[in-house]
Structure 1
Amino acid sequence: MTTVALSLALGAFLGGAPVAVAAPAVTVAAPAVTVTGVLDVPPPGANDWSCRPSAAHPYPVVLVPGTFESMAKNWSTLSPVLKAAGYCVYSLNYGVTNGVPATGPIAESAEELAVFVDRVLKATKAKQVDLVGHSQGGMMPRHYLAFLKGARHVHALVGIAPSNHGTQGLVFPESGLGSSGDNVLCAACTDQQAGSPFLTTLNSGGDTVAGPYYTVISTVYDEVVTPYTSQALDGAPQQVTNIVLQDKCPLDPIEHDQAPNDPVVHQWVLEALSQRTGPADPDFEPACA
């Protein structure tokens, strides 16, 4: 995907017209174009740097997009749900290669996440954040936790269809970007292939680190991170909950790309974020759509 195509896609997402940075009718902060060519447009409800966490919701929530996804598109439905529930919500674009987000080497993307979390903590004066990520965005923070001293800054990590142990297929088959072991266009695709050097290092010390709580939300219809069972994390039930959506909602047809937009997923995310001393309660009963 070219920078122009990405910009047009974002323009369509934001209402079908070209993005007018200086348009006087815009009542929100005008999107800034980064040097990489990606529009820094947050999803609805996110990146209010004046927000202060409440006693009921003391941890700011950082939403981490998946491969090829911008924060605006990936979190267009979950972000306003969290904001309406009373959370301070933040998100970022990261790992931009040739104008395409979340395609750079994952270890480097984790460093970008570390900088962003520090910014959120400084702005909100919170002690820790909760991380919610989709696909690569649910796995990449584990590198931050394990190797960049992120565990002390994170209360919980919620992964939606995360590539925790890679995929047996291609990350994005239609593009061809993930088809080469020497891929320079999408290093993140190579990193997410099962058995890659990156994943071998990430999981060599175990799936979790002491401190944060982990919730994994998977769907049996995931066609990208396969098999879907590879998304689960190994850990004590006091620290880890692995959810398969169809165990509670057998008729839920949601697949990988649309998982962040699923109302049942939203309920599980809210359940996980509501816990102070553990991951999501596996006995929680969502309202099936």
Structure 2
Amino acid sequence: MQRSRRRIATALSALAASLLVSLSLTAPPAHAAARNPVVFVHGFNGSGGSWNAWAASFKADGYAASELDAWSYTWSQSNATTARQLATEVQNVLARTGASKVDLVVHSMGALSSRYYLKNLGGTAYVDDFVSVAGTNHGTSVASLCGWLYTSCNEMRTGSSFVTALNSGDETPGSVSYAAYWSNCDAAIDPDDSALLSGAANVGVGCVSHTDMNSDPGVYARVRAFIQ
């Protein structure tokens, strides 16, 4: 009788172990993200705080604070340096959230460092959607006013070696979904069509000022619809 009980106990233990293995193979990761976290990249003379209005809108639409990363960087440095810092920031966000990819939402000069990351630092493997809001994608003549002061601003000039290299070949590399939102009365982007990207969904939003582009509720609604 005692030997029979031991056999039954052994069989039950084996069955339980088998079930645990089966569950571990079929269950989703414990920390898998429900959606892509959003990484915001501000522009020249800006900070992460420039995204406060949109961060509040994302939260109102169901995003958790942990899914929204409005980081700040030293905007006077080379956009290539910022791109390397962005690469680290993205990896930190992925590790923290358990997501496999992020959505990048960028404003103004933030488009240059973000696109450098995508083109030259393997960022296309970690980004699902890329959204440029009033991005200086092809430079701006306005940057001639500050180009002699700051490396980043010099790189932002129309025809700079940085912008020329960034736009050589494919402007929208990888399997990332690209969108560029631009205004027809953006005084900081000259000419206006500098904000467009070849291969992206280019969307004119009407007359919205440069500084309002990444806080405007109408532009937010378009961006939110694109990355959902």
Between the two proteins, the alignment pairs up a number of residues equal to 195
Which residue number corresponds to residue 106 of structure 2?
133
**Structure with more helix by fraction:** 2
Equivalent residue runs for 1:45-60 within 5 Å = 53-54=33-34, 58-60=35-37
| Paired AA for residue 78 in structure 1 | W
Q: Aligned equivalents of 2:48 and 2:140: distance in 1?
A: 22
Is 1:157 the counterpart of 2:124? The answer is no
**SS at 2:211's partner residue?**
coil
> Corresponding residue for 1:170?
143
2:70 alignment counterpart: 91
CA distance in 2, matches of 1:112, 1:90: 14
One-letter amino acid of the counterpart of residue 206, structure 1: D
CA positional deviation for 1:206: 2.2
Equivalent of 1:63, from 40, 62, 67? 40
TM-score of the superposed pair, with normalisation by structure 1: 0.65
SS in structure 2 opposite 1:78?
Answer: helix
Verify the 8 A CA contact 2:147 2:157 in the aligned structure 1.
no
Report what 1:190 is aligned to. 154
> Which position in structure 1 is the counterpart of 2:208?
254
Matched with 1:210 is 174
Q: Aligned residue for 2:184? A: 220
1:52 to partner: Cα distance = 7.2
**Among the aligned pairs, what percent are the same residue?**
32
Determine if contact 2:111/2:135 at 8 Å carries over to the other structure.
yes
How far did 1:258 drift? 1.4
Given the alignment of the two structures, is residue 269 of structure 1 paired with residue 220 of structure 2, yes or no? no
Contact persistence 2:79–2:112 (CA under 8 A): no
Q: SS of the residue aligned with 1:269?
A: helix
Whether the 8 Å contact between 2:147 and 2:155 is mirrored in structure 1 is no
What CA RMSD, in Å, does the superposition of the two structures yield over aligned residues? Answer: 1.5
Deviation, 1:271, is 1.0
Distance in 2 (CA, whole Å) between partners of 1:61 and 1:216 is 16
What is the Cα deviation at residue 127 of structure 1? 0.5
Distance 1:138 1:114 in 2: 14
Deviations, residues 120-166 of structure 1 (Å, cap 9, x unaligned): 00011101000001101133211001100110000011010001000
Unpaired stretches in structure 1, ≥5 consecutive residues: 1-50, 97-101, 247-252, 275-289
Task: Give the TM-score, by structure 2 length.
Answer: 0.82
Q: How far 1:108 sits from its partner (Å)?
A: 0.4
Q: Which residue of 1 aligns with 2:14?
A: none
- Residue matched to 2:205: 245
Q: Identify the residue that residue 5 of structure 1 maps to in structure 2.
A: none
SS in 1 for 2:141: coil
Matches of 1:85 and 1:138, distance apart in 2:
25
- Higher RCO (CA < 8 A, seq sep 6+): 2
Residue 110 (structure 1) shift: 0.3
Equivalent runs, 1:108-123 vs 2, <5 Å: 108-123=81-96
The alignment partner of 2:210 has SS state of: coil
Q: Distance in 2 between matches of 1:52 and 1:168?
A: 44
- State the structure with more CA Rg: 2
Regions of 4+ moved over 4 Å = none
Q: List gaps (5 residues or longer) in structure 2.
A: 1-30
Q: Look up the equivalent residue of 2:97 and give its one-letter code.
A: T
- Tell me how far apart the structure 2 counterparts of residues 139 and 271 of structure 1 sit (CA, whole Å): 23
SS in 1 for 2:82: helix
